[in-house]
Amino acid sequence: MELTYFGHSAFQIDVDGTKILVDPFITGNPLADGVATADSLSPDYILLTHAHGDHWGDTPDIAMRSNAIVVANFEITQYLSQKFGHERVQPLNTGGSWEFEWGRVTQTDARHSSSFPDGTYGGNPNGFLIEAEGKTIYALGDTSPFAEMAWIGDDYSIDLALMPIGDCFTMGPRLSVRAADLIRPSLTVPIHYNTFPVIEVETSKWEEMMNEAGYATRVLSPGESLDL
Ligand code: NI
Ligand code: MN
């Protein structure tokens, strides 16, 4: 399994040739500049954590061109079907999961908000537990730590956590250590930082805090891949 980061919260997982794209904010994402364009991506699946523009991003364009199955909360999949006529969707809601040919996706809670760029209600925000090839990836979505993360830590052995650290709109570096204490991931990759001035973070300082608390980290540059 290979994971490629596009900057902000956008990344793609390749499971034996099946491409799963998460939160495809590519157009207008300064970190994706020179790394990827919406046209360069042809995923089989698109997973959306919530409806905010910096996650929803290029979803309609990429989904319709590549005929990808979009996995998201009910409100997001309904918006996509009604507004864009894209019927290849798998709606979920918090706590629900679905088995695909390549693995299982479970929607977790996330402490945030969720509305489309045009103001339409986007349901509740989520994270995803992605289980494939015997590994578990936890994409936290936009969130602060919350107490029930401890249940996720108890019930799942998390090989990789994609954790927001940019502060302001999500947890920052300090609270991300608290989240790691709850979910105890083998490896944490930071996301949702350095895209805009308000979410700038010194990653070396974040890594120091995480490593001191006993958690392995890996900072990915946009365009960089990780084998899992
Ligand atoms: Ni958001
Ligand atoms: Mn966001």
> pLDDT tens across 42-63, in order?
999 999 999 999 999 999 999 9
Tell me phi and psi for residue 103, to 5 degrees: 160, -175
Residues of the chain whose pLDDT is less than 70?
A: none
CA 52 to ligand 1 center in whole angstroms = 5
Q: Does domain 2-219 have CATH number 3.40.50.2300?
A: no
Q: Measured between alpha carbons, how far is 81 from 55 in angstroms, rounded to an integer?
A: 18
Q: Measured between alpha carbons, how far is 71 from 150 in angstroms, rounded to an integer?
A: 25
CA 193 to ligand 2 center in whole angstroms = 9
CA 219 to ligand 2 center in whole angstroms = 18
CA 155 to ligand 1 center in whole angstroms = 26
pLDDT on residue 215: 98
pLDDT on residue 44: 98
- The pair of structure tokens assigned to 80 is 């996509």
Q: Measured between alpha carbons, how far is 134 from 53 in angstroms, rounded to an integer?
A: 32
pLDDT on residue 9: 98
pLDDT on residue 157: 98
Q: Measured between alpha carbons, how far is 27 from 228 in angstroms, rounded to an integer?
A: 27
pTM for the complete prediction? 0.98
Mean residue pLDDT across the chain: 98
Question: What order do you get walking across the sheet with 69-73 strand by strand?
Answer: 89-92, 69-73, 45-47, 18-22, 10-15, 2-7, 225-227
CA 65 to ligand 2 center in whole angstroms = 24
pLDDT on residue 190: 99
CA 95 to ligand 1 center in whole angstroms = 19
Q: Measured between alpha carbons, how far is 131 from 139 in angstroms, rounded to an integer?
A: 11
pLDDT on residue 207: 98
Domain ranges of the chain: 2-219
pLDDT on residue 41: 98
pLDDT on residue 217: 98
Residues in the chain: 228
